[in-house]
C-alpha cells in the first residue's frame, strides 16, 4: 500500500464544509423570498415539471408582516415570504421529497460494502494493471472516453455511482490520488452530459418544446464534446504529474480466483442491468435500489460470506453514505424554499423581459448564462426545461435565435454549473461516494469551469453566426 501524500490535505479554517454550505444556501434562499416579488405562470399540468404557458405570468400580492415569520400552513395558497423556521423544517421536507434517491444511495453503499469486503475489487484492479502495464497515459483516456460516451449518447449519470469506488481504487493503485480517479470519472460524465450529442434524457424534453426534431443538430454538439473532452483528459493527466510515480504493475500477480471472477461478473451484470433498465424499461430510483440489494446478496453468496459477515459489510457500506443522504435532502430543501416563496417564475419572467430586443449574438450567450444561474436554483434538468424553455424559446426566436440554439444554450448552461453546483444532489452523492471534500473538488474544477464557460459562449455565438 503506497503512502498517498496527495490525500493528506491540511485542515484549513476556511475549508468549504458541505453541510455549512447547504445551511448558507438555505439562508440565502429564505432571504430571497423576502426580497423578490412572488408571481406564477399557469401550467399545462399539476406537477412541478409541467410546461408553463407563455404570456400567463401574473404577479402575486405578498404581504411582509410579522405573521410571515411563523411557519406557513402546509397547504397554504397564499403568497408569502418563507419563514426563517424553514432553515430547519426544509431539511426533513427535502429528505422526504428526495427519499427515492436517498434510499438508492444508501443501498448502493451497502452493495459497495459487500464488494469491498469480498476482495474482488482489489484483485481485479491488480489484473487490469498487469494487462495494461499500469500506463496512465493509456488507462486514463480509454476510461474517460468510455464514460463520457455513455453520458453524451445514452444520458448515463446516476448509473456511474456504481463505478466511482472502482476508478478511485484504480487511480490509487496507479500511484495517483482519489481526486485523480474521481476527476477521471466525473469530468468525463459531466462533459458528456454538457454536450448531450444524443442524450435522450435532455433532448427528449428540450427539443420538442421549441419545435425542432429530437436528436437533430448533433454535429455541432459532437464537435463541442470532442473539444471539451480532449481538454478534460489533458487536465486529468496533468493532475497526475503532481503525484507519486506510477506504481509498477505486479507482473507476477496470481490470476483471479473463481470467487473473484464471479463477484466481478455480478458487478458487470449489474451495470448492464442499470443501463438497460434506465434506457429501455423506464427504471428509476426504486428499481435501482432493488437491483443493488439483489446484487449485494448475490455478491455475498459468491464471495462465500456468512450471513453475519455479509450483513455487517452491508450496514457498514450504508453508513458510509449517510453524509450523502443528508446533503441530498438539504439541497432539495433549497429548491422547496424557493418554490414555496413562489419566486422562481418571477425570475424567469424578469429574464425573458431583458433578453428581448437584443442582438442575437448577445441573446444566445445570455440565455446560457441565465440557465447557469437557474441551475443553481433548480438542478433538475426536466424541471428547469419545463419552466424556462417555453418562455425563453419564443422570445429568443423573435430576435433571431433559433430553437436549436436555445436548446444548445440550455444544455451548456445546465451542464457547466452542474460540474460544481452545491445544490446538485447527484454531484454531492458522487463526492460522498468517493470520499472527496466538496471544497477540494471546487478548487480543482473552478479554473476548468472558466475555460469551458468561455468556450461555451463562443460556441453559442458561432451557432448563431452559422444559422444553426
**Can you give the pLDDT at residue 358?**
85
Q: Identify the CA nearest to 430 among candidates 150, 179, 213, 254.
A: 179
Q: What is the CA radius of gyration of the chain?
A: 23
- Average pLDDT of span 361-385: 89
pLDDT band at 411 (very low <50, low <70, confident <90, very high): very high
* 132 domain-assigned: yes
- Average pLDDT of span 330-334: 86
The position carrying cell 462465500 is 304
Does pLDDT of 49 surpass 80? no
- How long is the chain? 468
**Can you give the pLDDT at residue 7?**
42
pLDDT band at 73 (very low <50, low <70, confident <90, very high): low
**Can you give the pLDDT at residue 273?**
85
Cα 246 from Cα 364, distance rounded (Å): 45
* 363 domain-assigned: no
Q: Identify the CA nearest to 332 among candidates 89, 119, 130, 159.
A: 89
**Can you give the pLDDT at residue 14?**
41
* 293 domain-assigned: yes
**Can you give the pLDDT at residue 4?**
44
Does pLDDT of 228 surpass 70? yes
Cα 156 from Cα 3, distance rounded (Å): 34
Q: Which residue has the higher pLDDT, 405 or 79?
A: 405
**Can you give the pLDDT at residue 101?**
81
Q: Which residue has the higher pLDDT, 241 or 239?
A: 239
pTM of the shown model: 0.76
**Can you give the pLDDT at residue 447?**
95
Percent of the chain scored above 90 by pLDDT?
30
- Average pLDDT of span 160-186: 88
pLDDT band at 1 (very low <50, low <70, confident <90, very high): very low
**Can you give the pLDDT at residue 27?**
92
Give yes or no for a contact between 225 and 253, defined as CB atoms under 8 angstroms apart: no
Domain of residue 155: give its range.
Answer: 99-320
Most confident of 3-7, 172-176, 221-225, 326-330: 221-225
Angle subtended at Cα 384 by Cα 450 and Cα 399, rounded to the nearest 5 degrees: 75
Give yes or no for a contact between 418 and 331, defined as CB atoms under 8 angstroms apart: no
* 392 domain-assigned: no
Percent of the chain scored above 70 by pLDDT?
88
The position carrying cell 450529442 is 197
* 300 domain-assigned: yes
**Can you give the pLDDT at residue 157?**
83
* 189 domain-assigned: yes
**Can you give the pLDDT at residue 219?**
93
The total of structural domains in the chain comes to: 1
**Can you give the pLDDT at residue 62?**
79
Cα 456 from Cα 364, distance rounded (Å): 10
Q: Which residue has the higher pLDDT, 225 or 24?
A: 225
Q: Which residue has the higher pLDDT, 221 or 204?
A: 221
pLDDT band at 224 (very low <50, low <70, confident <90, very high): very high
**Can you give the pLDDT at residue 75?**
47
Contacts of 45 (CB under 8 A, 6+ apart): 51
Q: Which residue has the higher pLDDT, 189 or 433?
A: 189
Give the three-state DSSP class for 52.
strand
**Can you give the pLDDT at residue 246?**
46
Q: Which residue has the higher pLDDT, 118 or 458?
A: 458
CB atoms under 10 Å from CB of 245, counted, come to 8
The three cell numbers of residue 389 are 424553455
Query: pLDDT, tens digit, for every residue of 175-220?
Result: 888 999 999 999 999 999 999 998 877 887 888 888 888 889 999 9
Does pLDDT of 379 surpass 60? yes
Query: Where is average pLDDT lowest: 89-98, 102-111, 229-238, 458-467?
Result: 102-111
**Can you give the pLDDT at residue 182?**
95
Cα 325 from Cα 137, distance rounded (Å): 35
Give yes or no for a contact between 87 and 334, defined as CB atoms under 8 angstroms apart: no
**Can you give the pLDDT at residue 47?**
63
**Can you give the pLDDT at residue 252?**
47
**Can you give the pLDDT at residue 209?**
86
| 283 conformational bin, left if phi > 0, alpha if psi -120 to 50, beta if neither | beta
pLDDT band at 293 (very low <50, low <70, confident <90, very high): very high
* 198 domain-assigned: yes
Cα 140 from Cα 233, distance rounded (Å): 7
Straight-line distance from the first to the last Cα atom of the chain, in angstroms, rounded to the nearest whole number: 53
Contacts of 254 (CB under 8 A, 6+ apart): none
Contacts of 125 (CB under 8 A, 6+ apart): 166, 169, 170, 173
pLDDT band at 46 (very low <50, low <70, confident <90, very high): low
* 35 domain-assigned: no
pLDDT band at 77 (very low <50, low <70, confident <90, very high): low
Q: Identify the CA nearest to 160 among candidates 429, 452, 438.
A: 429
The DSSP-derived string for 126-156 is HHHHHHHTT-HHHHHHHHHHHHHHHHHHH--
Q: Which residue has the higher pLDDT, 399 or 129?
A: 399
pLDDT band at 13 (very low <50, low <70, confident <90, very high): very low
Amino acid at each position: 500500500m503506497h503512502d498517498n501524500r496527495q490525500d493528506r490535505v491540511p485542515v484549513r479554517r476556511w475549508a468549504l464544509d458541505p453541510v455549512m454550505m447547504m445551511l448558507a444556501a438555505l439562508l440565502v434562499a429564505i432571504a430571497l423570498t423576502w426580497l423578490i416579488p412572488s408571481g406564477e405562470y399557469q401550467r399545462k399540468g399539476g406537477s412541478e415539471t409541467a410546461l408553463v404557458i407563455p404570456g400567463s405570468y401574473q404577479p402575486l400580492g405578498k404581504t411582509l408582516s410579522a405573521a410571515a415569520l411563523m411557519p406557513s400552513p402546509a397547504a397554504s395558497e397564499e403568497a408569502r415570504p418563507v419563514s426563517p423556521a424553514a432553515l430547519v423544517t426544509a431539511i426533513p421536507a427535502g429528505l422526504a421529497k428526495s427519499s427515492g434517491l436517498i434510499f438508492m444511495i444508501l443501498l448502493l453503499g451497502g452493495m459497495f460494502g459487500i464488494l469491498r469486503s469480498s476482495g474482488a475489487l482489489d484483485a481485479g484492479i491488480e489484473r487490469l494493471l498487469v494487462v495494461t502495464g499500469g500506463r496512465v497515459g493509456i488507462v486514463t483516456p480509454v476510461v474517460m472516453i468510455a464514460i463520457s460516451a455513455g453520458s453524451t449518447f445514452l444520458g448515463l449519470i446516476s448509473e456511474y455511482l456504481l463505478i466511482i469506488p472502482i476508478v478511485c481504487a484504480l487511480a490509487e493503485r496507479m500511484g495517483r490520488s482519489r481526486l485523480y480517479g474521481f476527476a477521471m470519472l466525473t469530468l468525463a460524465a459531466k462533459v458528456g452530459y454538457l454536450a448531450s450529442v444524443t442524450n435522450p434524457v435532455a433532448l427528449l424534453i428540450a427539443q420538442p418544446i421549441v419545435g425542432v426534431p429530437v436528436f437533430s443538430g448533433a454535429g455541432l454538439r459532437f464537435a463541442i464534446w470532442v473539444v471539451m473532452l480532449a481538454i478534460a483528459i489533458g487536465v486529468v493527466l496533468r493532475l497526475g504529474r503532481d503525484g507519486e510515480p506510477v506504481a509498477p504493475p505486479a507482473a507476477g500477480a496470481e490470476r483471479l480466483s473463481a470467487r473473484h471472477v464471479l463477484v466481478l461478473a455480478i458487478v458487470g451484470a449489474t451495470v448492464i442491468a442499470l443501463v438497460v433498465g434506465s434506457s429501455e424499461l423506464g427504471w428509476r430510483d426504486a428499481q435501482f435500489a432493488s437491483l443493488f440489494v439483489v446484487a449485494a446478496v448475490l455478491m455475498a453468496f459468491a464471495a462465500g460470506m456468512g450471513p453475519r459477515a455479509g450483513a455487517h459489510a452491508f450496514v457498514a457500506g450504508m453508513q458510509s453514505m449517510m453524509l450523502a443522504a443528508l446533503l441530498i435532502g438539504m439541497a432539495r430543501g433549497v429548491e422547496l424554499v424557493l418554490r414555496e416563496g413562489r419566486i422562481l417564475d418571477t425570475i424567469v419572467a424578469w429574464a425573458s423581459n431583458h433578453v428581448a430586443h437584443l442582438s442575437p449574438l448577445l441573446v444566445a450567450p445570455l440565455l446560457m448564462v441565465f440557465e447557469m444561474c437557474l441551475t443553481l436554483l433548480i438542478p433538475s434538468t426536466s424541471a428547469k426545461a419545463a419552466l424556462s424553455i417555453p418562455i425563453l424559446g419564443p422570445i429568443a426566436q423573435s430576435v433571431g435565435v433559433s430553437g436549436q440554439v436555445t436548446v444548445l444554450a440550455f444544455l451548456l448552461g445546465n451542464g457547466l454549473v452542474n460540474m460544481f453546483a452545491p445544490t446538485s444532489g447527484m454531484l454531492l452523492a458522487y463526492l460522498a461516494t468517493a470520499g472527496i471534500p466538496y471544497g477540494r473538488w471546487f478548487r480543482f474544477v473552478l479554473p476548468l469551469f472558466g475555460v469551458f464557460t468561455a468556450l461555451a459562449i463562443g460556441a453559442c455565438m458561432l451557432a448563431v453566426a452559422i444559422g444553426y
